[in-house]
Amino acid sequence: MPFFLTTAIDYVNSRPHLGTAYEKITADVIARHCRLCGIETYFMMGNDEHSQNVYKKAVEQGLDPLAYCDQMEREFRAVWRELDISFDDFIRTTEPRHRAAVQTLAQRSYDAGDIYEGIYEGWYCVSCEAFKQEKDLVGSRCELHPTLTPEWIREKNYFFRLSKYRDRILRHFEAHPEFLEPHPRRNEILRLLEAGLEDISVSRAGQLWGIPLPFAQDNVVYVWFDALINYAAAAGYATDEAKFAKWWPAGLHIVGKDITRFHTVFWPAMLMSAGLPLPKQVFGHGWVNYGGQRMSKSLGTSVDPTDVARRFGPDPLRLYLTKEISYGGDGDFTWERYEERYNVDLANNLGNLVSRAAAMAEKYRDSHVMPAGDGGRLAQVADAAVGRYRAAMKSYALHEAAAAAFQIVDAANEYIAETAPWTLARNASSADRLSAVLFDVVEAIRVAAVLLMPVIPSSSAEILRRVGERRPPSELRFDHDARWRADGERQIIKGAALWPRSDERAKEITVEEKPPSGASPSAAPAITRPVETPTPAAPSPASPDGRIPIDDFMKVELRVAKVLEAEAVPKSKKLIKLKVDVGTEQRTIVAGIAEAYQPEQLVGRTIVIVANLKPAKLMGIESNGMVLAASPEGGLPSLVAVDPNLPAGSRVR
C-alpha cells in the first residue's frame, strides 16, 4: 500500500532552526523505517512562501520576493542535505503545480457554495498568519508572539463555511480515533469542535503576494488556505490524475502542536468541501526548546541545526532528537546535554562496542567470525528488543524504538563483560565458546544497526559494512534482516573510531599572532580558540592517499565577496578588519594579510571567502568567515583573485 508522508512546509522568512529541523528529522526516521519495511513511500516537504513576513523580508533585502524565495530554497535544501533528510519531493507554494491545485480547490469549494463574500473585522497576528479572536489574546498580544502587536484589520474578504462542517468533522473523529495522534492533541481539538466553529476568512484584499482567487482575481488566497493545499498539489491534484490516484489520501501529516488545528479542522473541511478524501492520520509533535525556553530568533534562543550537526556529524543530532524526546511531547536541547548524550550513547556505548568487537575478532579470529551456537541469551534479548521496536514504530513512539535498539547494545556490552573473551582466549578448551561469544556480539551489533538505520543512516551503513554486511542498505528489509541470524560467516572490518569522545576531538589551536616587539604580552595576547574537527558521523573509509570525497569539499561554502571597508587592527602586525558584502548581508572578517596589503588597497576588491565558518574572536573582534589567500612558504599572503565583475555571493566551487 503506497504511503504518502508529509511534514509542514516552512515559512522562509528565516533559516531553519533546531525546532523546524526536529520535525524533518523525525519524519525522515518514519520515512526511512517505512522504506526499510518495504513500503512504497513518498516523503515530501517544502517551503511556504506566500506569507506577508516572507514578502517583507524580501523587500527589506531589496530583492524581488521570488528571487528571495529561490535563494531561501537553496539554503533550506542545503540544511536538509546536511541533516541527511531523504525527502522524495520538495514543493514550493510559488510553483505552477501548487497554484493550479489552489485555484482548482478554491473554485470547487466556491461552486459548492462554501465560499461567500463578507467583511472581516478583527485581529490578525502576522507571525502566526492567523486571525485571532479577543479570547485568543493574552493582554492584547498573541500568546505565541508576545513581542508583536496584532493588527486590527477591516476588509472585504471571502469566507469559507467552516461552521457547516463541524458535525461531519466530529463524526470523523469519532469514527477514526487514530485520525489525530498523540491522544492529548485529540482531546484539545475535540474540545474546540464541541465549542463550535465560526466561518473563516480565506482571502486577503489589496495584497500582491499570493495566489489570486480564481473567481475574484483582485483578492489573494489567505496563506493558510493556500499552504494546506500543498499536500494535495504534491500528490498531483489538478495536474497529474494518475499520480493523485496513487498517492492520495496522504497516510500521515507530521506537524507541530501549534498548527494541529489547521490540519485537523480547516484542512478536513476544505477537503470535504472539494469532495476529496481526508488524510488518514495527523501527528502533532511537541516543541524543542533551547535551555527550557521557546526557540526564537529575537530572544536569542534559536539554534542553527547545521552548527549542531557540524559538532559531531548529523547522526548524533538525529539520535539525540529521536531518542531523548518522547515523540509527541516537548523536549529540550542544551549543548551540555547534547555532548553528554553523545559521549554516553555513541562514544562509550555503541562506538566502543563496535571497536571492541572488531579488535577482538581480529586478535582472536583473524577478523573472521563463524557461527557456533544459537545465540543464547543475547539472541533472546535482541528478539524481545526487535518486538518492542516494531510496536514502538507502529505507534510513532520513536524514542522508544531508538531506546529498544540501544537495549541490544547495552546487552552486548554486558555480555562481553560477563563472558570475558580475553580469558576464554587463554584456554584452548574454550575455543568454541570464544567463537560463539564473538559471533553473538557481532550479530547483536548487526541487529542493532539494522534497527538504527532510520535514525542514524550513514553510521548504521558503516557499522553494517564493518560487521560483514555486503548488501547496500537499500536492499535490507526489516522482517528479514532485523531477525537474529545464527548462520553465515562474517568478515569483520576494523576502522577508525566512529565517535571519539568529545574531549578527544576538541583541540586547542593557536592563531599565529605574536605581540609586536616592545608591547607587553597582555596588550596583544596570543589568541587561542578551540576548534572542533568537522568529522562526518560515519567517516568515509580513509583514503590511503588522503583524498576526500566531493561531499566533504562541498561542506565548505566558498563565496565571492566585495570589500566595502578595511582598517588595520590596532596592536596587530598581521590583522586587517574588513567589512565585506556577501550578497545577502554584510559581515566583518578579520584577515591575517596586513603584511602584504595596505587597508586602502583592499577597498573595492573582489575576493573569495569561506562563508560558513563558525565565528571566531581575533583580538577581540568577531570574525565571520575567512579570506582565501595563497601563502607561499616563507612569503607573503596573496589574495585569491576572481573576475571582479562577479556578483557578491556567487558560490565558488
- Give the footprint of ligand MSP on this chain (CB under 6 A): 8-11, 19-20, 22-23, 48, 227-228, 230, 255-256, 258-259, 287-288, 295
Contact assessment for residue 334 and residue 290, using Cβ atoms and an 8 Å cutoff: yes
Q: Which single residue brings its beta carbon nearest to ligand MSP?
A: 256
Query: Is the Cβ of residue 257 or residue 356 nearer to ligand MSP in the bound state?
Result: 257
CB of 299 to ligand MSP, least distance (A): 12
| DSSP string across 522-576 | TTSPPEEEEE-----SSPPPPPTT----HHHHHTS-EEEEEEEEEEEPTT-SS-E
| Beta carbon of residue 168, minimum distance to ligand MSP (angstroms, whole number) | 21
CB of 8 or CB of 382, closer to ligand MSP: 8
Q: Quick one: 22 or 123, whose CB is closer to ligand MSP?
A: 22
Whole-number minimum distance, CB 121 to ligand MSP, in Å? Answer: 25
CB closer to ligand MSP out of 228 and 445: 228
- What is the rounded distance in angstroms from the CA atom of residue 227 to the CA atom of residue 10? 10
Q: In the bound complex, what is the minimum distance in angstroms from residue 53's beta carbon to ligand MSP?
A: 10
Nearest CB to ligand MSP, comparing residues 51 and 203: 51
Tell me, letter by letter, the H, E, C secondary structure of 387-425: HHHHHHHHCCCHHHHHHHHHHHHHHHHHHHHHHCHHHHC
Q: What's the closest the beta carbon of residue 46 comes to ligand MSP, in angstroms?
A: 9
Give the nearest distance from C-beta 4 to ligand MSP in angstroms: 14
- Residue 240's contacts (CB-CB under 8 Å, 6 or more residues apart) are none
Taking the C-alpha atoms of residue 28 and residue 125, their distance in angstroms, rounded to an integer, is 31
The Cβ-side half-sphere exposure at 9, using a 13 Å CA radius, reads 29
Closest approach, Cβ 227 to ligand MSP, in A, equals: 4
Looking at the Cβ atoms of 268 and 536, the one nearer to ligand MSP is 268
Query: Residue 316 or residue 331: which is nearer to ligand MSP going by CB?
Result: 331
**C-beta closer to ligand MSP: residue 331 or 351:** 331
Q: How far apart (Å, rounded) are the C-alpha atoms in residues 474 and 322?
A: 21
Q: Could you tell me which residues come within 8 angstroms of residue 466 by beta carbon, excluding any fewer than 6 positions away?
A: 354, 358, 492, 493, 494, 495
Minimum CB–partner distance for residue 162 and ligand MSP (Å): 16
Q: Please, which residues have CB within 8 angstroms of residue 338's CB and are 6 or more apart in sequence? A: 308, 311, 316, 317, 320
Count of residues for the chain? 653
Nearer to ligand MSP, 127 or 586 (CB): 127
Least Å distance, CB 163 to ligand MSP, is: 22
Closer to ligand MSP at the Cβ: 90 or 384?
90
Q: State the nearest-atom distance from the C-beta of 196 to ligand MSP, in Å.
A: 24
Max Cα–Cα distance, the chain, nearest Å: 90
Contact 614, 587 (CB under 8 A): no
d(CA 158, CA 220): 10
Q: How far apart are CA 8 and CA 347, in angstroms?
A: 33
SS3 content of the chain, % helix, strand, coil (to 5): 40, 20, 35
Q: Let me know: does 8 contact 24? Beta carbons within 8 Å.
A: no
